[in-house]
């Protein structure tokens, strides 16, 4: 892998290669937006894409047919519209069949309920096609064959702004069904949970039990995941979860991986009860010979390592022992490698996690934002805990091919260089800062200038530092309509003047002292004055020293008399100069 190259998803063109994390996100979203725009055009204007020019024709590469072919009011036409995911057309056609007195089979009605509950009674869109999907088909589908999906947030779709409308089409059709089977109830329960109506889902489950129907494993999984929204107290949540588990045993429903993951996800929101019961859940998984997924480990770590309260539990060591041995496949929407080893400030754990992430396709469980956040934390930990040679090696290999450093990463790197006394690397870091678009961040500029001007270095390094100072000065002085001008600070001006003085650039140093200091109503420090005087002496410019004395006197500085004495003593002055 070329460490200087961008991610493979971007065009191999300098103009289209992102410079920083913000550009990478913008370009990747733009690429996806282009795909969605193409899908939209094909969906809205299918008549322009009905000819096949490919020889031979590869159906999987051709646009999907989304135009209904069966006309009239019939059950076959309804099935076709359900298959094409035309929500509104399917409901309208179902209502026409009912009004005409045409019976609709239970299987077709259940398929319509599946469609309505999946999309929340809303029309199918490209965005909904890409969102996280739950399997609403018959039980027995192998979850490991599902595609990797973006992890849902902690609250997911259970927001206070519920998307399940009162008396929507799904509820209306369910009520008028002449007969209902277990599939009908299971679909309604899962749809209500998916779209935030957990209380209604629980009531529907009670009705289902009263009708002597049995729920499938997917329905129990949804109900267990909804427990935190049904009960307030931690112990009550655990008791309700146990009720569902007991019902599974009574109905002889075999739990699967998603059942235990839903239970652990619920225990994440059960405080101390979750910590006391989670290990029992893991042991039960082992007894049933169910292998954990990444979501299992993520829930377990979140239970024991919550927020800033990172206790010294050995759970994470056991988790890494298991994760290092396996290459994972997607089995749960919550699967991800977003562990918190870097937050624990343990470099050995971080290395182990990094090794596990690079095994097989494990890295695919993190999207671009998560990858950049992971590598950012990992690099900051390296800067804090590792030797500088190791830090620089990782830095050269990771940026920009693996991640784009954040301003905090650059600050951590500068502090690591300072601690290891490797300040000669600063000019190359400055070039990276310009590439990353951090050349206008005052906090980074102050730290950079402070490190470069703190002490003298060999001439070659001082020249490189002066070049950096010249660039920084140019960034402060450039003006444009798109960017607000950078404001000088007294310390930054002092650092720039020092760097210019140390390489004999007296004119540039004097410009900074005379023009810029007065512009912001600041006074040069004694160190800046002394460095400028030393520069004037080194270049044998008594006129510059005299101007310095006059400046100090005009500002009323205590050092003016001392500078005057040094000028008379260390320079050969003419009568006029005296």
111 and 193 belong to one structural domain: no
For residue 212, give every residue at least 6 positions away whose Cβ sits within 8 Å of its Cβ, in sequence order, or none.
none
Q: Which of 145, 179, 213 is the last residue of a domain?
A: 179
Residues 60-103 pLDDT 10s: 777 677 778 888 899 999 999 999 888 999 999 999 999 999 99
CA-closest candidate to residue 269, choices 148, 151, 156: 156
The residues with which 309 forms a beta bridge, in sequence order, are 306
574: left (phi over 0), alpha (psi -120 to 50) or beta: beta
Residue 180 has pLDDT above 90, yes or no: yes
Terminal CA-CA length for the chain: 67
Are 475 and 495 spatial neighbours (Cβ–Cβ below 8 Å)? Answer: no
Last residue of a domain, one of 116, 149, 179: 179
Neighbours of 432 (CB within 10 A): 15
Helix axes 21-44, 368-385, angle to 10 degrees: 170
Residue 145 maps to a domain: no
Query: Predicted confidence band at 515 (pLDDT cuts at 50, 70, 90)?
Result: confident
The pLDDT value given to residue 3: 66
For residues 217 and 140, give the distance between their C-alpha atoms in angstroms, rounded to a whole number: 9
Q: Which residues contact 13 (CB under 8 A, 6 or more apart)?
A: none
Reported as a single tens digit per residue, the pLDDT across 327-384 is 888 999 988 877 766 677 888 888 988 888 888 888 888 887 888 888 899 999 999 9
Decide if pLDDT at 307 tops 60.
no
170 & 227 share domain: no
| 3-class DSSP assignment, residue 310 | strand
The answer on 193 and 96 residing in a single domain is: no
In a domain, 281, yes or no: yes
| Overall domain count for the chain | 3
CA angle 160, 161, 163 (to 5 degrees): 120
Global confidence as pTM: 0.78
Residue 449 lies in a domain: no
How far apart are alpha carbons 559 and 325 in whole angstroms? 69
Question: How far out from the chain centre does Cα 398 lie?
Answer: 17
194 in the same domain as 173: no
Pair (173, 218) in one structural domain: no
CA-based nearest residue to 94, from 75, 80, 110: 75
Closest alpha carbon to 510 in 524, 491, 490, 527 = 524
Name the residue with higher pLDDT: 419 or 129: 419
Range of the domain at 84: 66-128+165-179
> What Å distances lie between residue 91 and 82, 118, 183, 206, 485, CA to CA?
9, 14, 19, 27, 59
pLDDT in tens, 249-265: 999 999 999 999 999 99
pLDDT at 311: 53
Q: Is residue 547 part of a domain?
A: yes
* Whether residue 271 sits in one domain with residue 187: yes
Q: Residues 72, 174: one domain?
A: yes
Q: State whether 74 and 172 are in the same domain.
A: yes
CA atoms within 13 A on the CB side of 249: 6
pLDDT for the residue 152: 41
From 269, 290, 311, give the residue that closes a domain: 290
Residue range 18-22: average pLDDT?
82
Whether 172 and 206 share a structural domain: no
pLDDT above 90 for 11: no
Same domain, 89 and 113: yes
Residues 93 and 185 both lie in one domain: no
Which of 183-197, 308-322, 493-507 is predicted least confidently?
Answer: 308-322
Half-sphere exposure of 482 (CA within 13 A, CB side): 0
Distance, in Å, from the CA atom of 28 to the CA atom of 37, rounded to the nearest integer, reads: 14
Q: 103 is written with which tokens? A: 């019976």
160 inside domain: no
The arithmetic mean of pLDDT across residues 321-326, rounded, is: 86
Taking residue 304's Cβ as centre, other Cβ atoms within 10 Å add up to 18
Which helix (H) or strand (E) segment holds residue 274: the answer is: helix 271-287
Q: Does residue 120 lie within any of the structural domains?
A: yes
DSSP-derived letter for residue 306 is: E
What pLDDT, on a 0 to 100 scale, did the predictor assign at position 550? 82
> Does any domain span residue 425?
no
Looking at the domain assignment, is residue 204 inside a domain? yes
The per-residue pLDDT for 26 is 87
Q: Per-residue pLDDT for 154 more than 70? A: no
Q: Using CB atoms within 10 Å of the CB of residue 36, give its burial: 0 to 12 exposed, 13 to 18 middle, 19+ buried.
A: middle
pLDDT per residue as tens digits for the range 249-305: 999 999 999 999 999 999 999 988 988 999 999 999 999 999 999 999 989 988 887
Across 398-420, average pLDDT: 91
Helix or strand (DSSP H, E) at 305: strand 305-306
Which of 222, 204, 201 lies closest to 213, judged by CA?
204
User: What mean pLDDT, rounded, does the chain reach?
Assistant: 84
Whether 175 and 185 map to the same domain: the answer is no
Q: Chain centroid to CA 104: how far?
A: 47
Looking at residue 381, what is its pLDDT? Answer: 93
CA-CA distance, 226 to 192, in Å (whole number)? 10
> Residue 509: exposed, middle, or buried by beta-carbon count in 10 A (0-12, 13-18, 19+)?
buried
pLDDT of 155 reads 38
CA distance 469 to 354: 37
pLDDT more than 70, % of the chain: 87
Q: How many helices (H) and strands (E) does the chain have?
A: 27, 2
């Amino acid at each position: 892998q070329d460490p200087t190259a961008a991610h493979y998803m971007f065009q191999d063109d300098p103009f289209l290669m992102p410079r920083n994390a913000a550009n990478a996100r913008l370009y990747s979203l733009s690429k996806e937006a282009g795909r969605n725009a193409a899908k939209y055009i094909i969906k809205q204007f299918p008549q322009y894409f009905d000819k096949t020019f490919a020889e031979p024709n590869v159906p999987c590469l051709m646009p999907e047919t989304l135009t209904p072919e069966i006309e009239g009011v019939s059950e076959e036409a309804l099935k076709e519209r359900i298959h094409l995911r035309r929500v509104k057309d399917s409901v309208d056609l179902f209502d026409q069949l009912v009004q005409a007195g045409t019976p609709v089979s239970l299987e077709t009605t259940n398929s319509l309920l599946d469609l309505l509950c999946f999309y929340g009674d809303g029309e199918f869109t490209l965005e909904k096609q890409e969102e996280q999907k739950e399997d609403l088909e018959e039980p027995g589908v192998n979850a490991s064959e599902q595609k990797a999906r973006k992890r849902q947030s902690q609250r997911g779709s259970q927001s206070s702004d519920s998307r399940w409308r009162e008396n929507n089409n799904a509820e209306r059709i369910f009520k008028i069904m002449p007969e209902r089977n277990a599939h009908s109830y299971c679909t309604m329960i899962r749809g209500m949970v998916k779209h935030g109506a957990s209380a209604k889902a629980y009531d529907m489950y009670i009705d289902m039990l009263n009708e002597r129907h049995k729920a499938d494993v997917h329905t129990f999984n949804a109900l267990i995941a909804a427990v935190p929204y049904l009960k307030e107290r931690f112990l009550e949540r655990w008791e309700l979860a146990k009720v569902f588990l007991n019902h599974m045993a009574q109905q002889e429903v075999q739990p699967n991986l998603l059942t235990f993951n839903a239970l652990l996800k619920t225990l994440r929101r059960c405080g101390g009860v979750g910590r006391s019961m989670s290990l029992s859940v893991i042991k039960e998984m082992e007894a049933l010979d169910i292998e954990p997924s990444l979501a299992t480990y993520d829930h377990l770590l979140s239970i024991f390592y919550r927020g800033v309260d990172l206790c010294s539990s050995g759970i994470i060591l056991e988790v890494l022992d298991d994760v290092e041995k396996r290459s994972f496949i997607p089995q749960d929407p919550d699967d991800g490698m977003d562990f918190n080893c870097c937050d624990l400030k343990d470099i050995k754990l971080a290395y182990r996690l990094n090794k596990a992430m690079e095994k097989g396709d494990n890295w695919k469980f993190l999207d671009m934002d998560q990858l950049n956040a992971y590598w950012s934390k990992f690099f900051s930990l390296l800067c804090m805990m590792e030797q500088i040679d190791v830090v620089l090696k990782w830095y050269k290999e990771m940026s920009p091919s693996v991640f784009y450093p954040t301003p905090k990463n650059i600050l951590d790197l500068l502090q690591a260089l300072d601690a290891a006394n490797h300040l000669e690397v600063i000019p190359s870091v400055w070039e990276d800062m310009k590439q990353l678009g951090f050349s206008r961040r005052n906090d980074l500029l102050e730290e950079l200038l402070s490190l470069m001007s703190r002490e003298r270095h060999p001439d070659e390094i001082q020249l490189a530092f002066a070049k950096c100072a010249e660039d920084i000065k140019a960034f402060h002085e450039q003006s444009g309509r798109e960017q607000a001008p950078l404001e000088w600070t007294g310390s930054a001006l002092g650092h720039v003047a020092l760097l210019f003085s140390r390489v004999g650039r007296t004119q540039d140093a004097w410009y900074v002292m005379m023009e810029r200091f007065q512009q912001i109503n600041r006074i040069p420090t004694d160190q800046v004055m002394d460095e400028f005087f030393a520069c004037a002496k080194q270049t044998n410019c008594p006129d510059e020293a005299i101007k310095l004395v006059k400046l100090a006197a005009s500002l009323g500085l205590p050092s003016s008399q001392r500078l005057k004495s040094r000028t008379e003593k260390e320079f050969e002055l003419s009568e006029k100069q005296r």
